[in-house]
Structure formats: C-alpha cells, structure tokens
Amino acid sequence: MTATGPSRQPHRPDSELYPEVAAAGSLAAALSQCAAKHALDLGDVRSSSDGSSLTFAWVASRNPQLGGFSVNLGSVERVFIVSAGGRGVTLTHGSTDDLEQVAAAAAAWHDGVGLVELQATTPFLEVGALALAHERGPEYAVAEKWRVYLEEDPYVDLEMMRAANAEPRLRALFPYTSHRALGFSRCTGWPFSRDMAAIEPLGDGRYALRHHAEEFRAAPNYTAQEAAALVVSRMAKTWGQAVAGTEHDLREGD
C-alpha cells in the first residue's frame, strides 16, 4: 500500500497585513462582511472554483456582457489587487489598501454600472480608452486598437501597419502583435481567433506570412502591400467585422 503525503494546506492571509481578512477566515468572507456592514450588495462572493482559496475573491455582474470582478491579496505589503472584465477583455484594474473601497467597487460592478461611473465611484480603478471602446462595441474596439498602433506605438513596423490598415477587410479585424508579427482576429477578446495568417517583418522592407499550424518559411517574401493582400486572399468570403467575445464564442456562432 502506498502512503499518501499530507494534504496541501491553502495559503493563509497574513494576519499582520490583513487582520480583518485573517479574522474572517478568508478574503471572500471578509469582503462579504465589509459589504454587509456598509449595506452594499455583492451577490454571492466566491473564492476559487473549489472554494479552497483564502486569499482570492470573485464577484459576478448582473450585466450579462460582463464577467467577474476578482480580488487578490498582495504578499509583501498590504494591497488588494483588483481586475475586472468580460468576454475575454480586461476592462479595469487597480489596487488599494482599503477593503471598503474594494467592496464599493465590487458592488458597483455587481450592479452593472458603466465604466465611467465605475471609475467615478472608485477612483483607484483605471479605465483606458481601449476599455471604453470595448464597452461601446466591437467595431469601436477595433478602430481604437488600429489607432493606437498607427499613431502611438513606437515599436511597431509602421509600413506593415499602414499596408494592412489600407485593406478594408483587414481594417475590420482586431489587430494584435506577437514577436513583431502582426496578427488579425475575428473576435476582440482573448483567446483570439487563430484562423488568419500573420505578417512577419523580415527587415529591409520585406515581409513573410506566418500561417497557423503551418511551418514558417521566410521565402517567398513580399512587400508590405503584397503581404496584406495575400492575407486577404486567404480569408473566407463570409468573414466580416470582428465580433465581441473570444475564439470559443466565435466557434459557437459559426
């Protein structure tokens, strides 16, 4: 008979950094207690999927387009680390040492308020232009991501970006970069769709195509305009504007 080792104990909150969390037994319990004290509605505050985490809490939103509001504890200093989003996109994040502020933000998220109101309610949360564009709709998120690449990002290959953006069918997709290559997604959330070719800069104004699940070859290589046109030529005729959600949502809709 093989002996089994001791079961792994969950990481416990530091009682010096988080006395109220340690006293409650878990972050989820402490957040619930704080919300109740201030008459805030968080709904069902969860820990990890198996209920074992003592240093993580999660709150759902009444808005079906939004996902969870998650809270983690910092391990070196007292800080509650917050991230929230939906459909494969992080819409806001921030940190504070005040559990009451976290409870107020979680309540606003649970109520499904807009991002502008959320940030006004809890200023420690950051909301960027891309997040606001995602909130308006996928076409706005696509346009904002292209704008950032073309106007603000100092590290991208502008010739490649301009050539791709000049193709109407590529301009309707969500652009992203990975190891200098330019990819295109038919959805705006992560994981992105993986059915599009990417454009790979080779230097000296030459570009190759990288096809998912195919061995990469630097030759033949193309101008930026030729590469962009070839990506379009491999697209199914039914593919149009990128949609909100992830690759998994896209598969369900196809």
What confidence tens digit (pLDDT) does each residue in 61-99 have? 999 999 999 999 999 999 999 999 999 999 999 999 999
Confidence of residue 177 (pLDDT cuts 50, 70, 90): very high
For residues 180 and 114, membership in a common domain is answered with no
pLDDT above 70: percentage of residues in the chain: 94
The span from the CA of 154 to the CA of 179, in Å, is 15
Is 60 exceeded by the pLDDT of residue 8?
no
For residues 190 and 221, membership in a common domain is answered with yes
- Where is 200: in which H helix or E strand? strand 198-203
More confident residue, 8 or 80: 80
Are the CB atoms for 157 and 189 separated by under 8 Å?
no
Is 223 among the domain residues?
yes
pLDDT of residue 89: 98
pLDDT of residue 92: 98
For residues 184 and 161, membership in a common domain is answered with yes
pLDDT of residue 4: 44
For residues 103 and 141, membership in a common domain is answered with no
**Non-local CB neighbours of 207 within 8 Å, separated by 6+ positions:** 160, 199, 200, 201, 221, 222, 223, 224, 226, 227
- Minimal CA–CA distance to 243: which of 254, 231, 228? 254
For residues 160 and 227, membership in a common domain is answered with yes
pLDDT of residue 1: 38
Is 50 exceeded by the pLDDT of residue 246?
yes
* Mean pLDDT confidence for 177-187: 95
Confidence of residue 12 (pLDDT cuts 50, 70, 90): confident
For residues 112 and 197, membership in a common domain is answered with no
Q: Count of domains in the chain?
A: 2
For residues 63 and 110, membership in a common domain is answered with yes
Is 70 exceeded by the pLDDT of residue 226?
yes
Confidence of residue 215 (pLDDT cuts 50, 70, 90): confident
Is 217 among the domain residues?
yes
Is 166 among the domain residues?
yes
For residues 145 and 242, membership in a common domain is answered with yes
Is 60 exceeded by the pLDDT of residue 114?
yes
pLDDT of residue 5: 42
pLDDT of residue 214: 80
Is 244 among the domain residues?
yes
pLDDT of residue 3: 42
Which residues span the domain enclosing 62? 19-127
Is 2 among the domain residues?
no
For residues 208 and 141, membership in a common domain is answered with yes
Is 80 exceeded by the pLDDT of residue 49?
no
85 SS3 class: strand
Is 3 among the domain residues?
no
Is 9 among the domain residues?
no
Residue ending a domain, among 95, 127, 159, is: 127
Residue ending a domain, among 127, 162, 191, is: 127
For residues 110 and 147, membership in a common domain is answered with no
For residues 189 and 120, membership in a common domain is answered with no
Residue ending a domain, among 127, 154, 178, is: 127
What confidence tens digit (pLDDT) does each residue in 195-212 have? 999 999 999 999 999 988
Rg of the chain over CA atoms, in angstroms?
23
Is 100 among the domain residues?
yes
Is 70 exceeded by the pLDDT of residue 136?
yes
For residues 105 and 152, membership in a common domain is answered with no
